[in-house]
Amino acid sequence: MTTQDELKQQAAAQAVAMVQPNTVLGVGTGSTVAFFIDALGARNRETPLALTAVVTTSNRSKTQLEANGFTVSELAAVDHVDLCVDGADRVDHQLDGIKGGGGALTLEKNVAINATRNVWIVDESKVVTRLGGFPLPVEVLPVSAEQNLRKFTAAGLAPAFRLQADGSRYVTHYGNYILDLGVSPLPIPHGLASYLDATVGVVEHGLFLDLADEVLIAQADGTIAHWTR
């Protein structure tokens, strides 16, 4: 296991300790969350957690949760989420972040906005002073994608279609494409988020602003920083 994986595992373990019985748990996506799911499963096998429901943000996490003995509900089946634990691609000191590196941004944001408490688990390589250093994913409808590409190019946002290993376009769970914006650092994140929200054809984007309540940051010195909003 690499050092970065060890850090991810440490942040994940601390988040598992935050999970309370008789609550609705939201579980995100990514390699850090994968450590969280395995640690959650181990805790549940030791002492059953009696969770009211578990919802998640991707088929990958659903499969792993089920392999760990959890029953996974659709988001539509719950009226709220008590705690959502997710990873992030970048996070700044205001607890704003870039997410969607794994392509699950639309469901991730839907689960996050319905959660009372959003906790991100990251290693220290994800922390930035200004949001950037990672392409910003924008999920777009196929029918709008070419126009969106031209518009974002003209706006200086350096978009590129996300591609799969075989060179074909990556297709999301909802049948859409992802344009990754290469501009960095992001100019005025709240302004960019409003611009993207107002662009026809944009389904969702990976700017997660004012959403995270807490961030657990595993650091190379062995400590875990716990930032709260």
Residues in the site for ligand 5RP, rule: CB under 6 A? 28-32, 86-89, 99-105, 108
Nearest C-alpha neighbor of 114 from the set 73, 80, 76, 77: 80
By beta-carbon proximity to ligand 5RP, the closer residue of 15 and 104 is 104
Tell the smallest beta-carbon distance from residue 107 to ligand 5RP (Å). Answer: 9
* Residue 181 CB, nearest approach to ligand 5RP (Å): 15
Where on the phi/psi map is residue 211: left (φ > 0), alpha (ψ -120 to 50), or beta? Answer: alpha
The CB-nearest residue to ligand 5RP is 30
- Asked if the bond preceding 185 is cis, omega within 30° of 0, the reply is yes
The residue among 37 and 151 lying less far from ligand 5RP, judged by its C-beta, is 37
Residue 176: CA count within 13 A, CB half-sphere: 22
Shortest distance, position 88 Cβ to ligand 5RP, whole Å: 6
| Minimal distance, residue 102 CB to ligand 5RP, in Å | 3
Active-site residue among 6, 108, 124, 146?
108
Angle between helices 31-46 and 59-67 (to 10 degrees): 20
Residues 6+ apart with CB under 8 A from 145: 161, 177, 179, 201
Decide whether 151 or 186 has the Cβ nearer to ligand 5RP.
186
Locate 18 and state its tokens: 């935050």
Residue 170: exposed, middle, or buried by beta-carbon count in 10 A (0-12, 13-18, 19+)? middle
Q: Give the pairing type, strands 81-86 and 115-123.
A: parallel
Q: Shortest Cβ distance from residue 223 to ligand 5RP (Å)?
A: 19
Rank residues 23 and 106 by Cβ distance to ligand 5RP and give the closer one: 106
The pair phi, psi for residue 161, each rounded to 5°, is -65, 135
Of 90 and 151, nearer to ligand 5RP (C-beta) is 90
124 is catalytic: no
Residues annotated as part of the active site: 108
